[in-house]
Amino acid sequence: MCGIVGAFALAEPLDPAALERPLAALRHRGPDGEGRFVSSDRRVALGHRRLAIIDRAGGAQPIASEDGQVIAVVNGEFYGHAAIRRGLVDAGHRFRTASDSEILIHLYEERGIDAIEALRGEFAFILWDARERLAIAARDRFGVRPLVYATFGGALWLASEAKALLAAGAPAAWDEASVWAATQMHYAPPDRTLFRGIRQVEPGDMAIIRGGELQLRRYWDLDYPPAAAIQPIAEEEAVAAVREAIDEAVRIRLEAEVPIAFQLSGGIDSSAVVALAAPHLPRPPLCYSVAFDRPGYDERDLARVTAEHVGAELRLVEVSPRAIAEHLADAVTQGEGVAINGHIAAKRILARAMRADGVGVVLTGEGSDEIFAGYAHLRGDLLSQGTSSSSSAPGIAALAASNQASAGLMLASGEGIDLSSVRAALGFVPGWMAAKATLGRRVGSLVSGELVAAGQGRDVYAEFLDGFDLEGQLLDRARVHQSLYLWSKSALATYILRTLGDGIEMGSSLEGRLPLLDHRLFELVRGLPIDLLIRGGVEKYVLRRAIGGRIPAAIREREKHPFLAPPLVLAESAPIQEVLRDLTLPPFIDRARLRAALDRLPTLPEGERRAWDPALMLVASLCVLHRSYGL
């Protein structure tokens, strides 16, 4: 895991010192070393901050081909690199390091831009072909590793994080269209950030840069099959295939020359990763779990059950409401996005504890819910398919009753923004979008009249859908697949992976690996009948069968519970009021409306206060970003 920067001159040659400030801004991503390349004509500059994980002694970057004509900087991991290396050596290539990153250079020499098809892992890279005067930058298939770009100061820049581009000279300002989208549905558009002029390379995309012009090309997509094309499969055959694929996905992510640990909760996903990894480790797995002080959110006892079952060492990290309030600003600054729960601060506290213990790599269960349809809102989508709203209402009501922590986050709570455009485009409204619409209604009541006027007539949900190939990727698919596709392109890529995942972990110089978000595992599961994903109201059915007795029955049979911190609005000391009182409001938040909402909180029923927490956390996040980046 590392931080990367690239600059391509559009007019005057680059200043050789241009990489200093952006690389310094990425030091947290790579405290173990720094490397630079500047072309002889000063038209191209590549920079790298290194977090040494594999070939710690010899894997410094940038890396170059034998003749020095192909140069690259890489962030992340390429799994299965040893087998690829052997094939390249047999083809006559000479390697200078034992690093997994070096296979990129030689694969490119063999296959050109199609080399990316052979890469498996969590990565982002920038590659410069001096002979062809061509650059390629790419992000992994799901977007585990970030990559942003902007044009300013006479150059095209790319980097791992927006803060590096701001340090390089990108003007610090809000992207008003993205802010409006975030207040309406939590997420900025998938190809943008909250910062004006700074855009994202989307998951599964590569950028081809020639003569300073950047063109985007999608090299991979989710490609769910049409519902009518899904073929039946014997259940035992599917279970065996999934079991084998998961075991391999975990095993190949255990290579490292630094201590490895596991993030363990009370759910099946993280428990499965620990259980499958244990037989391949030289010593008992080292696990970390967040411990909250509120029933319904604290999973320490369940984590202990798994740890004892697999013989793991478990270290608990206590996180109080006060600690969440104290760490929130730093966490949001690291993640560069808006948070809707204190889990962002809890994850920062957890990551810092791991790093303090010398851990360099952590395996998590993230991504399993996207692969195996684990969220409660997906069960709601399945309940509504092929039924009238009245006939599905009892089941959806029961779903909401058993998933109260998800109210206003993943399940609708109260009145929402009009989503008739979504229904017209898809024939239904995905449950998670209905939930975000209720969040948007609450946040919308706190924004200024100026922002409302600027967004007047804009339907951010319709704009969101317009960014996708509806016929090629969504229509004629099962509702669960349609919902998962849209969720994966927004919530997963921009929030779970970027803000909560890479942003927080790398903020503490910690590499996160996600075995259950392996693209080969996904390509197996996406073709399975929906009945193997959700059966009789039980989510992740085939995963539960595949894991079997490797984890305790109490964990295997437990309903999905997302990793959420207790809402700050329910804390006795009212830290959410303190957080917002101490922050500078951006101009698009109305101070009087916010004060009125905070004054009204104590009078609301607990369920309504719980549903308001995400809206107030989102506003607090905007305040933090406004101050931290001088927007």
Task: Give residue 403's pLDDT.
Answer: 57
Structural domains in the chain plus CATH codes: 2-173+193-218 (3.60.20.10), 227-370+490-556 (3.40.50.620), 377-478+566-628 (no CATH)
Can you tell me the distance from the alpha carbon of 36 to that of 48, in angstroms, rounded to the nearest whole number? 6
On the question of pLDDT at 473 being above 70, the answer is yes
Q: How confident is the model at residue 457 (pLDDT cuts 50, 70, 90)?
A: confident
Question: DSSP 3-state assignment of 212?
Answer: coil
Residue-level length of the chain: 631
Can you tell me the distance from the alpha carbon of 87 to that of 437, in angstroms, rounded to the nearest whole number? 51
Are the beta carbons of 272 and 551 closer than 8 angstroms?
yes
Can you tell me the distance from the alpha carbon of 69 to that of 40, in angstroms, rounded to the nearest whole number? 12
Q: How confident is the model at residue 574 (pLDDT cuts 50, 70, 90)?
A: low
> CA 436, 437, 441, 444: dihedral to nearest 10 degrees?
70
Task: Give residue 407's pLDDT.
Answer: 58
Task: Give residue 118's pLDDT.
Answer: 97
Task: Give residue 405's pLDDT.
Answer: 59
Task: Give residue 404's pLDDT.
Answer: 55
Can you tell me the distance from the alpha carbon of 609 to that of 569, in angstroms, rounded to the nearest whole number? 6
Helix (H) or strand (E) holding 64: strand 63-64
Q: How confident is the model at residue 217 (pLDDT cuts 50, 70, 90)?
A: very high
Distances in whole angstroms, Cα of residue 218 to Cα of each of 221, 226, 281, 497, 612: 7, 20, 37, 19, 38
Which residue shows structure tokens 């590096």?
164
Task: Give residue 586's pLDDT.
Answer: 94
Tell me the pairing of strands 313-318 and 134-139: unpaired
Task: Give residue 398's pLDDT.
Answer: 55
Percent of the chain's residues with pLDDT above 70: 96
Task: Give residue 559's pLDDT.
Answer: 84
Task: Give residue 583's pLDDT.
Answer: 86
pLDDT digits (tens, 9 = 90+) for 535-548: 988 999 999 999 99
Are the beta carbons of 169 and 153 closer than 8 angstroms?
yes
CB contact set of 15 (below 8 Å; sequence gap of 6+) = 42
DSSP 31: B
Can you tell me the distance from the alpha carbon of 559 to that of 537, in angstroms, rounded to the nearest whole number? 10
Task: Give residue 386's pLDDT.
Answer: 58
On the question of pLDDT at 580 being above 90, the answer is no
Task: Give residue 578's pLDDT.
Answer: 84
E strands within 249-382? Answer: 260-263, 286-291, 313-318, 361-363
CB contact set of 94 (below 8 Å; sequence gap of 6+) = 66
At 585, list the tokens.
């409001």
Position 77, amino acid: E
At 347, list the tokens.
């994850």
Can you tell me the distance from the alpha carbon of 55 to that of 100, in angstroms, rounded to the nearest whole number? 8
pLDDT digits (tens, 9 = 90+) for 159-168: 999 999 999 9
Task: Give residue 394's pLDDT.
Answer: 45
47-62 in b/e burial notation, b at 16+ Cβ within 10 A?
A: bbbbbbbbebeebbbb
| Torsion sign, CA atoms 142, 217, 188, 485 | negative
**Helical H runs in 8-101?**
20-25, 81-90
Can you tell me the distance from the alpha carbon of 300 to that of 293, in angstroms, rounded to the nearest whole number? 10
Can you tell me the distance from the alpha carbon of 483 to that of 431, in angstroms, rounded to the nearest whole number? 8
On the question of pLDDT at 342 being above 80, the answer is yes
CB contact set of 561 (below 8 Å; sequence gap of 6+) = 266, 267, 299, 405
Are the beta carbons of 407 and 608 closer than 8 angstroms?
no
Q: How confident is the model at residue 212 (pLDDT cuts 50, 70, 90)?
A: confident
Position 202, amino acid: E
| Torsion sign, CA atoms 438, 440, 441, 445 | positive
Phi, psi of 513 (to 5 degrees): -125, 140
Mean pLDDT of 566-591: 87
Task: Give residue 410's pLDDT.
Answer: 64
The upper half-sphere exposure of residue 481, i.e. CA atoms within 13 Å in the direction of its Cβ, equals: 24
pLDDT digits (tens, 9 = 90+) for 234-246: 999 999 999 999 9
Phi, psi of 128 (to 5 degrees): -120, 125
Average pLDDT across the chain, whole number: 93
Q: How confident is the model at residue 528 (pLDDT cuts 50, 70, 90)?
A: very high
Nearest of 499, 202, 119, 162 to residue 344 by alpha carbon = 499
What is the distance, to the nearest Å, from the Cα of residue 388 to the centroid of all Cα atoms in its chain? 34
Q: Does 393 or 72 have the greater pLDDT score?
A: 72
Task: Give residue 389's pLDDT.
Answer: 47
User: Hey, which residues does 210 pair with through a beta bridge?
Assistant: 134, 213
pLDDT digits (tens, 9 = 90+) for 385-426: 754 444 444 455 555 545 555 555 667 778 999 999 999 999
User: Hey, which residues does 126 pair with through a beta bridge?
Assistant: 73, 137
Peptide bond into 62 cis (omega under 30): yes
Task: Give residue 388's pLDDT.
Answer: 42
